[in-house]
Structure 1
Amino acid sequence: MVTADVAPRPAHQVSTDARRDLLDWDPNDPQRWDSKVAWSTLWVTTFNLMLAFIIWYLPGALIPTLGTVTGWDLSESQSYWLLAMPGLTGGLLRIVWMMLPPMLGTRKMLTLSALLMIIPFVGWTWVVMLPTQPSYALLVALALAAGLGGGVFSGYMPSTSYFFPKSKQGTALGLQAGIGNFGVSVVQFVVPWAIGFGMFGLAGQLAHPQNAEPRQVWLQNPGLIFIPFAVVGVVLAWTLLKSVPVKANLKQQFDIFQNKHTWLMTMEYVLTFGIFSGLAGTFGMLLKQQFGPEYLTWVFLGALVGSLARMCWGPLCDRFGGGVWTVVSGIGVAASAGLVLFGQVTVADGETPSLPIFMTGMVLIFFFCGVGNAATFKQMPMIFPARQAGGVIGWTAAIAAFGPFLFSMLFNYLPRTAVFGGIIAYALLCAGIAWHFYARPGAEAKS
């Protein structure tokens, strides 16, 4: 039960000294829950979460083209390191943001986050317009700043969980995470389209794609399109959101680490979101390397399918439980990675793998990751008390956010066959854990 440390008052009454705080709020008690407040909070935070994913993956959508622009010289290794940086800060900042909801409240936390995200939006819009490549250190700094979009997730999701009863959290969190994840496919779809025409009379850049004719591009356009939406996100957060006065100091928040299920669910969420985020961040480079830059227009499909699955499976998880779907997710990811691996190992050296096999396997990985994403968000509020559930959601999300960093490093230094073989082994391990602890009849924490 989530309640404030104040005397009972009518449901969702606004206090006089903190006009945006909800008093005597308990979403599991129909008399002390306001569905309109809950759902309006969900839509505002989801809008901002989509923008967060857009800035988190904006460098990854720009970098494959940026390295071909006249005056710029990015090696393949440098490109992978830039792709890795948002994942590194995204994971680290999620550890910070997981602690903010009970310390700042939803409204202050979300408004501050939305304001900070404008900085990397402006930074990436500016730097791509420079006629020659700036210092690599500046590019690294901007890539690190984009990781803020990944970090805020661990504040947004736990905060939203305070507003919904357990019976609706699978649906609510599945919708928020699924629609929020659309930000990945949105930016991957918009960037190839938006860089193809001029806006406001601004000069473009000349790109020299490998094995293709030089062409004019306008890499600043995506930023110019998204910055106004980021400003709207700030205004919505400040004017429409309220906070549940859930209070917990740092010591209280760290008690989640004494529960073994915190660590087990971390493994499961790395399976679902760690692989999703890691492959989403490197999908463009994989397509460009193996099949050519002309196929970058299809990179959005993976994240789109995964996000749709995450959004649609929330109600199914509410009905059948999350544990069984986590098992399905693990088996499905393993089988799909096996299909990609098959396409890689059946070609001779120097030959190009089959594009249909590669795309089918990759899209299926994203699909089953989306199913598992919805399932794990249903499980955590069922396994843990309300205050701990928010912390566990934040912690597991923080560790899984290192996915873009991890996969960028793996693809930079290991053969693709080794990476997909590792995905198969890890997915099967997680499926076994989910079955034993959460899904089988008589499971210890059936959820």
Structure 2
Amino acid sequence: MAVPTAPTETTTTPTTTAAAPVRRSGRWIDDWRPEDPEFWAAGGKKVARRNLIFSILSEHIGFSIWTMWSVLVLFLPAAEYGLTPDDKFLLTAVPAFVGSFLRLPYTFAVAKFGGRNWTIVSASLLLIPAIATAIVLEPGVSFSTLLIVAAFAGVGGGNFSSSMANINAFYPNRLKGMALGLNAAGGNLGVALVQIVGLIVLAAAGGVAASVEPRLVPALYIPAIVLVTVLSAVKMDNLSHASNDKRAMRDVIKDRHSWIMSLLYIGTFGSFIGFSFAFGQVLTQFLVPDNLPAGVTVATADPAVLKAAQAAASLDALKVIFLGPLLGSIARPAGGWLADRFGGARITLVTFVGMGLFAGLVLLASQEKSLALFYVGFISLFILSGVGNGSTYKMIPAIFRAKAQRHASEGADADWEANEARRLSSALVGVAGAIGAFGGALVQIMFRQSFLTYKNADAAYLGFIGLYVVCFAVTWFVYLRKSPSKLAGV
């Protein structure tokens, strides 16, 4: 079985005369020298910016399709669809898992097929879950059918990796952090947008039959997907110099830091995407009792009364759930900036302290039935996970750069070590991104098991606290404690 390979770059030696990128048919660019200041100023910057804009649009729609089931499950009352809370968590776990699995092959598809070409393919694939979901969502549909359709939504999760690999090839090293930060944040905002779309649909379709309402969410995305696909074909470019390093993936998985950083990314991005899928469901369960008549409980409520309470709770949840992903997405570039200023490991450590404390606050709010504390705790978890996303991504190149500097100080060839650091960093970004996304599926499974066993989410919150304690300890022990093996500058 062939080992997947990571996208790397080769740079043509700069010429003395600046020239615009050299193209051939099929929107391929053969001469691409972003590290050459004259080349960059003569047209390279403009080309890179244009590709970044349309890459963000494609990734943004991909995130929306990937996480649309976080909204759709709020439209599926148990009385009409026969779904229990644990069924709904499974419906959101499936696209999270499929999306994480697809991230690795999507990473390497850019060098194989070209960034523009793969963006066209990956964007057009989003039509499958959008159309299929719009067709099957109606009362009486089987749970197995819903699971299959939800799995197709996972294709949106792969877009992040291919988009990041593509933009990484367009920008010079000095600007990669800015470009990748904007690309990631723009994509993450797709989570908040689909939840806003859900709120608009629920508010605007008040007079439409309930069986039609959920179909409107994916249906509204169909023309947007077509538009983004066309724009990608017209406006984006392929870089012929991007290639796959046949050894990078094999080499990077042998490095212990790869597994350590993957764990930390589960704690940050896994929390962000997992909470994005689950927040609406957890909040709805929290709000249902408040929408029942005085003295009536979930166990004793008449089915019609319970259905009305669930519908009201879903509407209340949709009014606020987008705030978490929105603020978490905005916080991601801030995490990168703070990591540049104070060090990625320090910011990551503080992030896990805060996430552990606010997960404890959410647990307290759940036990005390305090809606205000619940909001504060969960929104803070989103913001801190966004900060942690930025800081952990900044740690990856810093780790391999520090190792390269250490080896160079011991007599190794400095240029070779610097190139090796860039090669392994690129590979680890793909690995950590895939494993971190898998953490989002684990969050759904933890919530589902908690509701199955205890009829509430408290056990899941305890599990999250335990995860953040482990991530805190690992960050401190490996990267911050005083030790002869400590890597400087991480």
* TM range, smaller chain: 0.7 to 0.9
Q: Distance in 2 between matches of 1:275 and 1:19?
A: 38
Equivalent of residue 98 in structure 1, options 107, 115, 128: 107
1:158/1:437 CA distance change after superposition, 3 Å: farther
Q: Distance in 2 between matches of 1:332 and 1:83?
A: 26
Question: 1:258 corresponds to which residue?
Answer: 254
Question: 2:428 corresponds to which residue?
Answer: 392
Which amino acid in 2 is paired with 1:195? Answer: L
Mapped contact 2:248–2:427 kept (Cα < 8 A)? no
Question: 1:350 corresponds to which residue?
Answer: none
Alpha-carbon offset, residue 342 of structure 1: 2.2
Alpha-carbon offset, residue 419 of structure 1: 1.8
Q: Distance in 2 between matches of 1:372 and 1:86?
A: 23
Give me the TM-score of the superposition, normalised by structure 2: 0.80
Mapped contact 1:256–1:262 kept (Cα < 8 A)? yes
SS of the residue corresponding to residue 205 of structure 1 reads coil
Alpha-carbon offset, residue 368 of structure 1: 0.6
Question: 1:429 corresponds to which residue?
Answer: 470
Alpha-carbon offset, residue 144 of structure 1: 0.2
Mapped contact 1:12–1:22 kept (Cα < 8 A)? no
Equivalent of residue 219 in structure 2, options 202, 221, 224: 224
Alpha-carbon offset, residue 224 of structure 1: 2.9
Which amino acid in 2 is paired with 1:179? Answer: G
Q: Distance in 1 between matches of 2:226 and 2:488?
A: 43
Over residues 352-402 of structure 1, what are the superposed CA-to-partner deviations in whole Å (9 max), with x where a residue is unaligned? Answer: x11111111111111110001111222223334333333211211111112
Mapped contact 1:343–1:357 kept (Cα < 8 A)? yes
Q: Please show how residues 53-92 of structure 1 align to structure 2 within 5 Å.
A: 53-68=63-78, 70=80, 72-92=81-101
Question: 1:189 corresponds to which residue?
Answer: 196
Q: Distance in 2 between matches of 1:317 and 1:37?
A: 29
Question: 1:341 corresponds to which residue?
Answer: 363
Q: Distance in 2 between matches of 1:198 and 1:339?
A: 36
Question: 1:16 corresponds to which residue?
Answer: 24
- Larger mean Cα displacement after TM superposition, 258-267 or 5-14: 5-14
Alpha-carbon offset, residue 89 of structure 1: 0.5
Which amino acid in 2 is paired with 1:41? Answer: N
1:432/1:40 CA distance change after superposition, 3 Å: farther
Over residues 32-58 of structure 1, what are the superposed CA-to-partner deviations in whole Å (9 max), with x where a residue is unaligned? Answer: 542222222222111111101110111
1:420/1:65 CA distance change after superposition, 3 Å: same
Equivalent of residue 320 in structure 2, options 286, 295, 298: 298
Structure 2: which 5+ residue stretches go unaligned? 1-6, 289-312, 401-420
Alpha-carbon offset, residue 85 of structure 1: 0.8
Q: Distance in 2 between matches of 1:316 and 1:32?
A: 31
Q: Distance in 1 between matches of 2:202 and 2:69?
A: 14
Mapped contact 1:194–1:222 kept (Cα < 8 A)? yes
1:252/1:118 CA distance change after superposition, 3 Å: same
Q: Please show how residues 102-141 of structure 1 align to structure 2 within 5 Å.
A: 102-128=111-137, 130=138, 132-141=139-148
* Structure number with larger C-alpha Rg: 2
Instruction: Tell me which protein shows more helix as a share of its residues.
Output: 2
Q: Does 1:410 align with 2:446?
A: yes
Mapped contact 1:438–1:446 kept (Cα < 8 A)? no
Question: 1:241 corresponds to which residue?
Answer: 236
Mapped contact 1:22–1:242 kept (Cα < 8 A)? no
Q: Distance in 2 between matches of 1:400 and 1:87?
A: 11
Question: 1:213 corresponds to which residue?
Answer: none
SS of the residue corresponding to residue 21 of structure 1 reads strand
Mapped contact 1:325–1:375 kept (Cα < 8 A)? yes
Q: Distance in 1 between matches of 2:23 and 2:470?
A: 49
Over residues 406-438 of structure 1, what are the superposed CA-to-partner deviations in whole Å (9 max), with x where a residue is unaligned? Answer: 122211112523322222222233233334444
Give me the TM-score of the superposition, normalised by structure 1: 0.87
Mapped contact 2:9–2:169 kept (Cα < 8 A)? no
- Larger mean Cα displacement after TM superposition, 270-279 or 327-336: 327-336
Which amino acid in 2 is paired with 1:356? Answer: A
SS of the residue corresponding to residue 210 of structure 2 reads strand
Q: Does 1:444 align with 2:487?
A: yes
Equivalent of residue 42 in structure 1, options 52, 57, 62: 52
Measured on the aligned residues, the alpha-carbon RMSD in Å equals 2.6
Alpha-carbon offset, residue 142 of structure 1: 0.8
Mapped contact 1:327–1:434 kept (Cα < 8 A)? yes
Q: Distance in 2 between matches of 1:159 and 1:382?
A: 21
1:381/1:417 CA distance change after superposition, 3 Å: same
Q: Distance in 2 between matches of 1:265 and 1:11?
A: 40
Q: Distance in 1 between matches of 2:352 and 2:178?
A: 21
1:11/1:247 CA distance change after superposition, 3 Å: farther
Mapped contact 1:336–1:361 kept (Cα < 8 A)? yes
Q: Please show how residues 121-200 of structure 1 align to structure 2 within 5 Å.
A: 121-128=130-137, 130=138, 132-198=139-205
1:12/1:103 CA distance change after superposition, 3 Å: farther
Mapped contact 1:162–1:386 kept (Cα < 8 A)? no
1:378/1:243 CA distance change after superposition, 3 Å: farther
Which amino acid in 1 is paired with 2:275? Answer: L
Q: Distance in 2 between matches of 1:5 and 1:431?
A: 39
Alpha-carbon offset, residue 234 of structure 1: 0.7
Alpha-carbon offset, residue 122 of structure 1: 1.3
Number of positions where the alignment pairs a residue of Structure 1 with one of Structure 2: 425
